[in-house]
Structure 1
Amino acid sequence: MKEAAKALHQREDIAVRRADITAAFVLIKTAEYHQKLDAILSDSTKFERLTKNPTDKIKKEANDIISSVNTATNAMHLPTIIGDYSLGYLYGNVKTHKNGNPLHPIISQTPALMYGLAKLLNQILTPYVPSRYSLHSSTEFLKKIRDSPGTGIIASLDIESLFTNVPVDETINIIMDHIYRDPSTPQLNIPEVSLWAIL
């Protein structure tokens, strides 16, 4: 088995990718895999082709915003971004349950300079996320089903390429309204203009 996996890994004409949703792996022709990724990236409403690496410019702009946030509040200190970083990268998991086996695009930002700041912001903003209509696990979902009166309809909505179709500005506006204009939420000790700039 190990020898077979090694042999597949060495073949340039075959790509071994994870299947979407399931824990299986898929063998797909490398040319077909790249063709499907290129089709996703060619959508100019979601992606923009750059002519140079913007990392240094983004780092300077981000550190300027971080400095202004740290000056405006005494209760919170955001760390300055230092060091060298790479760009994020796109890969796709194969949707074996769909006709034509399209790819589920995933953009990994792990090596990117904003990754650490994004994780910190996630911790800061999570308490402000409304949880009334959210479930945290399949176990919680099953409990809801068992405890329900047995009436009504359960529907599953399938959204194509969810994260590349999220309206960014509208989403940020919803976040801002919930944090700064909802009297039921605690006050966040970051100026709204600064948080907007970071997001």
Structure 2
Amino acid sequence: MSTRPLTDTETEALSLGLKFDTGIGNKSFTDYTLKNSIWSDTEAEKGFKQGVTACCIALSANTPRSLPRRYISALKELGKDNSIFISQADKGGGVVIMDKADYVRKMEQLLEDEDTYTKKRPGHAKEEAMIFNGKVRKILGGSEMGRRLKHLIEEDPRPPTMRGLPKTHKPGVPMRPITSGIGSAPHRLAKVLAKPLSKAMGSISGSHLRNSEDLLRRLKGTSMRYKKMASYDVKSLFTQVPTDGALEAF
């Protein structure tokens, strides 16, 4: 979708997919340790994980790069080109290359929807984050378990960011908005609290479907004679759910 011509090497490198491990990284020992440790680990568990991590790093140091040098150079050149936007497609996992001007225009069209998005003054997100943190501290301070989670409060939160995934399967290739809350006030705490909720999925309501295989399993043995099956696609589902109504239902 870009006016930029690709060389054969660039095409070959991108055809491996955006999730292909290039074998190149600059993560430090601390990065690996933090990623693999959880707040409830004992000192013995932390020591064991640090030992395993150190061994893995030592072994990987002698592992040859998994990409030819010409691919690495091609990917670096593509990364330096500010006139294009490279993204994973919304469906199918393909790689999409767009002119950055087209990408910005499509994202601005999304933000023009005043029923979904509201422009705020600079500093508003920071103030809201501080209010959130104050309320969370009060709630967590009311129990022993809560006090053990206080370290998850983001002391220097930043506003969530939004990007778009091209819907190449739709006419005009609209963008699907994806919001990343990494670094925002609720993010680290939400990740911990979401785990027990995720495990409970399917046990609260019998209407929950895990995936398409679960649907087929439930329909097995059901006569479809004189019946019709309909599938509904809700546009921008999460931004259309009224927050107050959702909280009341919960």
TM-score interval, smaller chain: 0.7 to 0.9
2:177 maps to what in 1?
105
1:143 maps to what in 2?
217
Assess, with a 3 A threshold, how the Cα gap between structure 1 residues 10 and 66 changes in structure 2: closer, same or farther: closer
Alignment partners' CA distance in 2, 1:128 and 1:96:
31
Assess, with a 3 A threshold, how the Cα gap between structure 1 residues 117 and 28 changes in structure 2: closer, same or farther: same
- 1:43 and 2:113 matched: yes
- 1:65 and 2:140 matched: no
Alignment partners' CA distance in 1, 2:155 and 2:146:
22
| Secondary structure, counterpart of 1:40 in structure 2 | helix
1:157 maps to what in 2?
232
Match of 1:119 among 191, 197, 200: 191
Q: Percent identity?
A: 26
Specify the structure having the higher radius of gyration (Cα).
Answer: 2
Q: TM-score, normalised by structure 2?
A: 0.60
Alignment partners' CA distance in 2, 1:31 and 1:63:
37
| Secondary structure, counterpart of 1:15 in structure 2 | strand
1:134 maps to what in 2?
208
Whether the 8 Å contact between 1:86 and 1:113 is mirrored in structure 2 is yes
Equivalenced residues, count: 175
Match of 1:33 among 93, 100, 103: 103
| Secondary structure, counterpart of 1:136 in structure 2 | coil
Residue 37 of structure 1 deviates from its aligned partner by 0.5
Question: What letter corresponds to residue 15 of structure 1 in structure 2?
Answer: F
Whether the 8 Å contact between 2:154 and 2:183 is mirrored in structure 1 is no
Alignment partners' CA distance in 2, 1:20 and 1:115:
24
2:93 maps to what in 1?
23
- 1:170 and 2:249 matched: no
Bigger RCO of structures 1 and 2 (CA < 8 A, at least 6 apart): 1
| Secondary structure, counterpart of 2:150 in structure 1 | coil
Alignment partners' CA distance in 1, 2:228 and 2:76:
48
Unaligned runs of 5+ in 2: 1-11, 13-70
CA RMSD in angstroms comes to 2.6
Unaligned runs of 5+ in 1: 176-199
Q: Deviations over 1:104-133 (max 9, x none)?
A: 111111221211232344345554884311
